[in-house]
Structure 1
């Protein structure tokens, strides 16, 4: 299959909770007001070390979107999804951006998010 090329990020890094592969930087967070099946999720302007799955239309709280699941290249775990197309004009800002589920990643301080934690503030922007 060949050698795996992995980008190592510097700074406040979010990584895969299973294999510690770097996925995104704190400074690339666009919004912390997203939700998924397991609780909180963050919208990032840029993620690395992921592979993109098949595109599919999903009805979310904010309307219909064409999205693709994203997977950690280190271990293959699903870590979130990428917005390919937003069908509502007000949601176009999401196109090309990715959502990482907090349940699936470790924070910059090594912290993990567990689904029993409560969400304070923000709004339910999306749900899958």
Structure 2
């Protein structure tokens, strides 16, 4: 029987840089710029862009784009601030677009 070599990971689809753990997924029911996206509690090996206000499907948010720390591919964004009280749970959380990440150790 094959044993897992480590935790199940998500990596940048372009350069395979590890960007998050499967266990850090909060929800798979999000929408990104290019289709489905996942909400994560933590990410790693990324570079944050400039904070900006953006009108998203759920209202106005202050967000910062997330780029791969190695190849600088745009992977998603970080929720810095939610203006609607029902969206506050997203603050400090991260969106990674499903089309921009790949599974490893599955």
Same fold (TM over 0.5): yes
The Cα shift of 1:43 comes to 0.3
Q: List structure 1 runs of 4+ shifted beyond 4 angstroms.
A: none
The Cα shift of 1:38 comes to 1.4
The Cα shift of 1:61 comes to 1.2
1:28 and 1:46 in contact (8 A); partners too: yes
Q: Secondary structure at the residue paired with 2:23?
A: helix
TM-score by length of 1: 0.76
In structure 2, runs of 5+ residues without a counterpart are: 1-5
Residue 88 in 1 paired to residue 84 in 2?
Answer: yes
The Cα shift of 1:109 comes to 5.6
TM-score by length of 2: 0.91
The Cα shift of 1:99 comes to 0.3
The residue aligned with 1:126 is: none
Residue 39 in 1 paired to residue 35 in 2?
Answer: yes
Q: Secondary structure at the residue paired with 1:93?
A: helix
The residue aligned with 1:64 is: 60
In structure 1, runs of 5+ residues without a counterpart are: 1-9, 111-128
The structure that is strand-richer by fraction is 2
Aligned-pair RMSD on alpha carbons?
1.2
Count of residues in Structure 1 that have an aligned counterpart in Structure 2: 101
Q: Secondary structure at the residue paired with 1:107?
A: strand
